[in-house]
Amino acid sequence: MSAILDALAESVDGTVHGLSFEGEDLSGADLGRVDFEDCTFTSCLFCETMFERPSFERCDFTACDLSNAHAAMAFLRGCRLLECRAVGTDLHQGIFTRTSFRDCNLAYSNFSEAKLEQVGFVRCDLHEATLAQLRLKRLQVEGCNLVRAEIFGTRLRGVDLSGSELAGIRVSNTFTELSGAKIGLEQAVDLVSLLGVKLVDAE
C-alpha cells in the first residue's frame, strides 16, 4: 500500500503533517479531498490522479509528475515545485499564494479563473497553457515559454514578460490583456503580428 494512502488513512484531523514521500505512484487513483501541510514529495507520480479541492500548505514537490491530473479548485500556499511535469493538468479556479514553479513543464495545463498572489513561474514551459481570466497580484514570469498560451481576460499590467517567448499568444480583439505589461524590443515583432501588421526594413 502507498505511504501516502497510509498517511491519509491514519490522519486524525484529515490533514497529513510534516511527512516526506519519495517514489510514490498514485497514477489514476481517486484521492478525493486531501490536505497536506509541511510535506515533501520527491519523484512521485500523480498522472491522471483525481483530486477534490486538494490543499497543500508549505509543501515541496521535486521531480514529480502530475500530468493530466484533475485538481480543479486546488489550494496551494507557500509551496515550491521544482522540475515537475504537469502537462495537461486541470488546475482551474485554483488559489495559489506565495508559490513558485521553477523549471516545470506546464504545457497545455489549465489555470483558467485561478487566483494567483505572489506566484512565480521561472524557466517554465507554458506553451498552449490556458491562463484565461486569472486574478493576479505580484506575478513573476521569468524565462518562460508562453507560445500560443491563452490569456483571454487576464490583465498583465505591470508583469515583466521581457525574458519570455510570446509568439502566437491568444488574446482578445482589444488586446487589453497586454496593456501595461513589460516586453522587450525583440518581442514587439511577435506582438505586432497579432495586429495583422508586417514589419519591413526601411531602405
200 domain residue, yes or no: no
User: How far is it, in rounded angstroms, from Cα 57 to Cα 36?
Assistant: 6
111 domain residue, yes or no: yes
User: How far is it, in rounded angstroms, from Cα 203 to Cα 56?
Assistant: 58
192: confidence class by pLDDT, cuts 50, 70, 90: low
Relative to beta strand 140-142, strand 135-137 is unpaired
**Residue 67 buriedness (CB in 10 A; 0-12 / 13-18 / 19+):** buried
Beta bridge partners of 51: 32
Residue 139 pLDDT greater than 90, yes or no: yes
202 domain residue, yes or no: no
What pLDDT, on a 0 to 100 scale, did the predictor assign at position 71? 97
Determine which of 87-96, 119-128, 132-141, 177-186 has the lowest per-residue pLDDT on average. 177-186
56 domain residue, yes or no: yes
Residue 190 pLDDT greater than 70, yes or no: no
Give the torsion through C-alpha atoms of 97, 162, 65, 35, to 10 deg: 0
Q: Structurally, how many domains does the chain consist of?
A: 1
DSSP secondary structure string for all residues of 54-81: -EEES-EEES-B-TT-B-TT-EEES-EE
Please state, rounded to an integer, the average pLDDT across all residues of the chain. 92
33 domain residue, yes or no: yes
Q: What is the CATH number of the domain that holds 19?
A: 2.160.20.80
201 domain residue, yes or no: no
**Residue 173 buriedness (CB in 10 A; 0-12 / 13-18 / 19+):** exposed
Contact by Cβ (8 Å): 106, 124 = yes
193: confidence class by pLDDT, cuts 50, 70, 90: low
Contact by Cβ (8 Å): 58, 40 = no
Q: Give the amino acid at 33.
A: R
Instruction: Reduce the DSSP state of residue 136 to 3 states and report it.
Output: strand
Q: Give the amino acid at 183.
A: I
164 domain residue, yes or no: yes
What does the pLDDT average to over 96-101?
Answer: 98
Residue 196 pLDDT greater than 80, yes or no: no
Residue 197 pLDDT greater than 60, yes or no: no
Convert 38-56 to b/e letters by CB count within 10 Å (16 or more is b).
ebbbeebbbbbbbbebbbb
184: confidence class by pLDDT, cuts 50, 70, 90: confident
Each residue of 3-47: pLDDT tens digit? 999 999 998 888 999 999 999 999 999 999 999 999 999 999 999
Mapped to the 3 state alphabet, what secondary structure does 80-107 carry?
EEECCECCCCECCCCEEEEEEEECCECC
What pLDDT, on a 0 to 100 scale, did the predictor assign at position 149? 96
What does the pLDDT average to over 107-113?
Answer: 98
203 domain residue, yes or no: no
What does the pLDDT average to over 179-203?
Answer: 68
User: How far is it, in rounded angstroms, from Cα 198 to Cα 142?
Assistant: 27
Determine which of 60-64, 81-85, 119-123, 175-179 has the lowest per-residue pLDDT on average. 175-179
Instruction: Reduce the DSSP state of residue 191 to 3 states and report it.
Output: helix
What domain range is 163 assigned to?
3-194
Query: pTM of the entire structure?
Result: 0.91
